[in-house]
Structure 1
Amino acid sequence: MDKNHRIHSEIRDMTKHLNLNTASAGLVAAVFGCTGPALIIIGGAEAGGLSHTETISWLFAVYFFGGLLGMYLSLKYRQPIAGAYSIAGAVLVAGALTHFSLSEAAGAYAAAGALVFLLGKTGLVEKAMQWIPVPIVMGMIVGVMIRFATEMVTAVEAAPLLAGSAVVTYLLSSRFIKRFPPVLSALLVSMLLAVVTKQFSVQGMDSTFLVPEPLMPVFSVEAIISIGLPLALLVICAENAQSTGILMAQGYKPPVSAMAVWSGIGGFIASFFGAHAVNTAGPMTAICASDESGKKEGRYAAAVVNGGVFVVFGVFAAFVVPFVAAMPAAIISAIAGLAMIGVLLSSLKMAFSDSKFQMGAFFAMIIGMSGVNFLSISAPFWAIIGSLAVSLIMEREHFERKSEEKEASERSSA
């Protein structure tokens, strides 16, 4: 089968799974990914003194190539793998742009992409993920993702009408309207109320189409050490690790090495447009992989929809940013929290239903919840490192038992 025929076959198979559940999950994931995270990039670009064209080029690259990454991985492996970029990485590089030129920063981004590619190509990432106990990974997922649930509650306090209507609609739709995705119902009702109450008003529309502006990276050792290395760690140990854990929690076997390889390639290409990273996305993968996306074998269609919206958003970033800025924050928080419920429940079960690695899972959860940011590396990485240290001290016998079980499994399958 030639390559073109195979691609057509994969797309044709995907359309069989394209239904209300998968389409709505992909749309909800895209709404989440195109709102708050985009505003973080816009704020970082302003703080770094970037021009409007440079900002649009940054947005174009992370959404366009991130969307393509998610579509490719989802179609190839038939798993709901959403692609985007590192939100924590955007915060990291925003501060660095005050010390380095954009070309020097782009050189560091390219170096980070190359490092991620090498770690994936050598299989080191996959070997590390196989060694880390599943309860610890699930504890990290709960700790990192739980903020979406708590922010949903605080959103109801801050905006009872908008966020409260989303929660109530979700509960009633889950109970009485089985055929319609409850998260989509919640989004539609809350958005309608926002329009009626005039809390959704678009201002400052820009009708000018801006062509993304490529640039040539400049490689600075200082920039690579300050930006590139922490960024590569974020992509591998925070972003891709979250996606991997979420897919595992939903019963998939994620292609860990391929996720790293293609994240590295995407990040390297995006650097030529001044974009900091391209990688798999934890929150959007969680939404696309949730039970509300429909049957397990067809949920990858949701990630394809999400990726398609991201590609369009990237191309027309100059036009759609005003709509992003107009979206009430309370609605974003409420919908994100509701969309994470299924993943949080399954991750909690996998983290604490077994008798092994309970101390490690607990520390992974609380470190993830802390939001600690040490040496410019965010909480998911430290949740894994800290909990492994705790388990190696407190639960060493569990590692020995895990190794024995793996050896027995390999002997039986030989």
Structure 2
Amino acid sequence: MPHEVPLDTGARNRPPLRAAFNSRTLSTGVVAALFGCTGPAVIVMNAAEAGRLSNAQTVAWLFGIYVLGGLISLFFALRYRLPISGAYTIPGAAILAASLQMIPFNEAVGAFIASGLLVLALGFSGLIGRLASWLPVPIVMAMIAGALFRFATGAVDSVVADPWVAGIAALAFFLTGRLLRSVPPVLVAGVVGLAMALWFGELQTAQVSLELVMLAFTTPAFSWQAFFAISVPLTALVIGAENAQAIGVLMAEGYRPPVNAMTIASGIGGLLAGLCGGHNANIAGPMTAICSSEQAGEDPRLRYGASVVNGVLFILFGLFAGFAVPFILALPKALIMVIAGLAMIGVLLGAFQQAFRKNGPCQVGAFVALTVAMSKFSLLGISSPFWALLLGVATSALLGELGAARRQETQA
């Protein structure tokens, strides 16, 4: 069974803040930041290019989502002492590449702000918290396993594509875990992979058009077309994908996440990011998964240090986005993917064990949730994690598994 971490352990029971910053939390926070500042940043820049944004508008977009995402990380890590990380919805940035070709950017900015207000209203209503407490744990864990399994397969693909960099980094990870238990395996894998990339000349200056320029903010305009094309899908992604993943991951690690506070923070982040010209800044599922994993240390009370490191690096990246992007993108993609996949091993193992434990409830519903979350299924602009939860619960209800799950909870 996972450890139980109270939401507020009380000042007397908390380790001192400085204890949260050790080699494991530092290395894990850096891994989470590298993951968030590479591929996802490219997706945002592609969307900006599709919308024909100026360099100054693009930098303002990056500034808003990374600085606010970092502040969300710092708030939850320092206020709740939980490894909750903020960033933005990556699928949301992807769908904007198509939307911005048809919708003027000032109307898109208005839609960003409207999405933040919708998420904020859901947070204050308390509906998300009640829903999270009602969902069967096996189905939530199966959704998490399915949604994050792409990191594991991505690591394998990276080793196949670049065995001398990604493969040797993976080998260093497992050897460190076997021979040097006091050293974070993720840190060693990153250092070894970087050394191999240097040796083979795979660190190339990225050809990115952004320069260090002043921010250019866009005056919002509001239209129903932009609301339905952008606001509604973004709100669904923030609630049904990012927040749902983060909540499930934290539950898998034994934490009791402040669900309503997480939703409210995602709404405020979305509102403020929209004022900067960026889409929702919110709780981040993948980064929370990395920072809350066992790679951040054996003591779950200290893992929030990884989110602090992640948050600080995100803020710095947002402040110097126009200057930092070319250097971050110089890292081999294979190295970033294999490190992220290795960091997810503990999270995935825990999720599978809780979803499919022997004689556990909702087994068929959990299997449906797993397969849907692993697929590329989307409907109404909403990605697979949301539908995985919905279809998993519907299957368990149809088969009578929900009643058995409630009886087990009552007996426990």
Q: Is TM > 0.5 for Structure 1 vs Structure 2?
A: yes
User: How many angstroms apart in 2 are the aligned matches of 1:113 and 1:311?
Assistant: 20
User: How many angstroms apart in 2 are the aligned matches of 1:389 and 1:232?
Assistant: 22
Aligned: 1:399 with 2:402: yes
User: How many angstroms apart in 1 are the aligned matches of 2:50 and 2:132?
Assistant: 36
Q: Rate the CA distance shift 1:219–1:158 in 2: closer, same or farther, 3 A.
A: same
Shift of 1:195: 1.2
CA offsets 1:333-379 (integer angstroms, 9 cap, x no match):
11111010000000001100152100011011000111212221111
Which amino acid counterpart does residue 383 of structure 2 have in structure 1?
S
Higher mean C-alpha deviation, range 399-408 or range 97-106: 399-408
Q: Which residue of 1 aligns with 2:389?
A: 384
Q: Which residue of 1 aligns with 2:344?
A: 340
Higher mean C-alpha deviation, range 382-391 or range 211-220: 211-220
User: How many angstroms apart in 2 are the aligned matches of 1:206 and 1:378?
Assistant: 31
Aligned: 1:107 with 2:122: no
Shift of 1:192: 1.0
User: How many angstroms apart in 1 are the aligned matches of 2:133 and 2:346?
Assistant: 24
Kept in 2: contact 1:60–1:314 (CA 8 A): yes
User: How many angstroms apart in 1 are the aligned matches of 2:339 and 2:120?
Assistant: 34
Aligned: 1:350 with 2:354: yes
Which amino acid counterpart does residue 377 of structure 2 have in structure 1?
V
User: How many angstroms apart in 2 are the aligned matches of 1:296 and 1:93?
Assistant: 37
> SS at the partner of 1:217?
coil
1:351-370 → structure 2 map (5 Å cutoff): 351-353=355-357, 354-370=359-375
User: How many angstroms apart in 2 are the aligned matches of 1:206 and 1:19?
Assistant: 37
Q: Which residue of 2 aligns with 1:6?
A: none
Aligned: 1:275 with 2:278: yes
2:310 to 296, 306, 309: 306
**Matched length:** 398
User: How many angstroms apart in 1 are the aligned matches of 2:373 and 2:27?
Assistant: 29
1:47-58 → structure 2 map (5 Å cutoff): 47-58=50-61
Q: Which residue of 1 aligns with 2:149?
A: 146
1:170 to 158, 173, 177: 173
CA offsets 1:308-340 (integer angstroms, 9 cap, x no match):
000000000011110122111111111111010
Q: Which residue of 2 aligns with 1:124?
A: 127
Shift of 1:403: 4.0
Kept in 2: contact 1:363–1:390 (CA 8 A): yes
Q: Rate the CA distance shift 1:293–1:203 in 2: closer, same or farther, 3 A.
A: closer
Q: Which residue of 2 aligns with 1:412?
A: none
Q: Rate the CA distance shift 1:211–1:13 in 2: closer, same or farther, 3 A.
A: farther
Q: Which residue of 1 aligns with 2:334?
A: 330
Kept in 2: contact 1:25–1:288 (CA 8 A): yes
Aligned: 1:297 with 2:301: yes
Kept in 1: contact 2:55–2:211 (CA 8 A): no
Kept in 2: contact 1:234–1:378 (CA 8 A): yes
> If the length of structure 1 is used for normalisation, what is the TM-score?
0.93
Question: Structure 1 vs Structure 2: percent identity of aligned residues?
Answer: 45
Q: Which residue of 1 aligns with 2:4?
A: none
Kept in 2: contact 1:144–1:371 (CA 8 A): no
1:373 to 358, 369, 378: 378
RMSD: 1.8
Kept in 1: contact 2:355–2:366 (CA 8 A): yes
> SS at the partner of 1:326?
coil
Q: Rate the CA distance shift 1:383–1:29 in 2: closer, same or farther, 3 A.
A: same
User: How many angstroms apart in 2 are the aligned matches of 1:12 and 1:391?
Assistant: 41
Q: Which residue of 2 aligns with 1:193?
A: 196
Which amino acid counterpart does residue 377 of structure 1 have in structure 2?
I
User: How many angstroms apart in 2 are the aligned matches of 1:404 and 1:110?
Assistant: 43
Q: Which residue of 2 aligns with 1:3?
A: none
Q: Which residue of 2 aligns with 1:90?
A: 93
1:134 to 137, 154, 162: 137
> If the length of structure 2 is used for normalisation, what is the TM-score?
0.93
Kept in 2: contact 1:147–1:369 (CA 8 A): yes
Shift of 1:215: 2.1
User: How many angstroms apart in 2 are the aligned matches of 1:67 and 1:212?
Assistant: 18
Which amino acid counterpart does residue 224 of structure 2 have in structure 1?
V
Unmatched runs of 5 consecutive residues or more in structure 2? 1-11
CA offsets 1:82-137 (integer angstroms, 9 cap, x no match):
10000000011221101111110111111111111111111000111111101000
Shift of 1:236: 0.5
Which amino acid counterpart does residue 315 of structure 1 have in structure 2?
L
> SS at the partner of 1:251?
coil
